Amino acid sequence: SADRKFFVGGNWKMNGTIESGKKLVETIKSAKLDSNVEVVVAPPALHLLPVQEALKGTQIQVAGQNAYHQVSGAFTGEVSVSQLQDANIPWVIIGHSERRTLFGETDANVAEKTKAALKHDISVILCVGETLEQREKNESINVVVRQLDAVKKEVDDWTKIVIAYEPVWAIGTGKVATPEQAEEVHAAIYDWAVKNLGQGATDKLRVIYGGSVAGKNCKELASKPSILGFLVGGASLKPEFVDIINSKL
Ligand code: PEP
């Protein structure tokens, strides 16, 4: 349905220069993109504005890769949700596994940041997912539910949230989840949503998959009924990002 437009995000992580970001934008702009897909790229904070400027007039929006929940103050090195709002940045990624693992973000931090972003009218790509150890113990769904419950405690309205299921073992490893593995967790997330957000909100909710998505595996993943898009890291820096955007064609 129109409410569930296929969504493709590109997480550039801490890569590139202002110039290479603009070049990448030119590559994407010169390609023919499926107009039924919502596309959001997340450059490094310093590159958000020039990339947004370069994307003017296209269907592609930008996202921060992280934001701090406080509006302003003595938080050296952070960028606040209200600063993103002031710069007209429409999206932010919250709870990426690299933030959780390398920078110590807890479920409670992720909930707090999500709440703050929404309060400042910024849509959220909310990342959840289990580690390899947790998958091997059959805990994938429990972990994801725990991560979602933490946000639900702080946030009632999920209409501006896209949930990215990103198994940690699949991120940046070249080890993509099988379509069946991803579909199983996505279906569990939709079950969680029906119980916790209601059927109406669930009908509008997009759960997207992330973890070694590439041109060569995107179509099979996209054919699964509960996979409503992708969050792409490595391949979002390459021309094949266009093929991923066009997965449904
Ligand atoms: C990511 O960083 O969100 C990601 C999915 O990375 P990659 O596509 O490189 O696995």
Domain count along the chain: 1
Catalytic residue flag (residue 96): yes
Secondary structure string (H, E, C) spanning the chain: CHHHCEEEEEECCCCCCHHHHHHHHHHHHCCCCCCCEEEEEECCHHHHHHHHHHCCCCCEEEEECCCECCCCCCCCCCCEHHHHHHCCCCEEEECCHHHHHHCCCCHHHHHHHHHHHHHCCCEEEEEECCCHHHHHCCCHHHHHHHHHHHHHCCCCCCCCEEEEECCHHHCCCCCCCCHHHHHHHHHHHHHHHHHHCCHHHHHHCEEEEECCCCCCCHHHHHCCCCCCEEEECHHHHCCCHHHHHCCCC
- pTM value is 0.98
Give the burial class of 76: count Cβ atoms within 10 A of its Cβ; 0-12 exposed, 13-18 middle, 19 or more buried. Answer: exposed
CATH of the domain at 116: 3.20.20.70
Substitution site in 41, 93, 171 for ligand 1 pocket (most atoms within 8 Å of beta carbon): 171
How close is the Cα of 54 to the center of ligand 1, in Å?
A: 23
Which tens digits make up the pLDDT trace of 56-65? 999 999 999 9
Domain that holds residue 222: 2-245
pLDDT digit of tens for each residue in the chain (249 aa)?
446 999 999 999 999 999 999 999 999 999 999 999 999 999 999 999 999 999 999 999 999 999 999 999 999 999 999 999 999 999 999 999 999 999 999 999 999 999 999 999 999 999 999 999 999 999 999 999 999 999 999 999 999 999 999 999 999 999 999 999 999 999 999 999 999 999 999 999 999 999 999 999 999 999 999 999 999 999 999 999 999 999 999
**What is the pLDDT, as a whole number, of residue 239?**
95
Among the options 96, 112, 120, 183, which is catalytic?
96
**What is the pLDDT, as a whole number, of residue 3?**
66
Q: Which atom of ligand 1 is nearest to the CA of 93?
A: 3
Among the options 38, 105, 166, 183, which is catalytic?
166
**What is the pLDDT, as a whole number, of residue 229?**
98
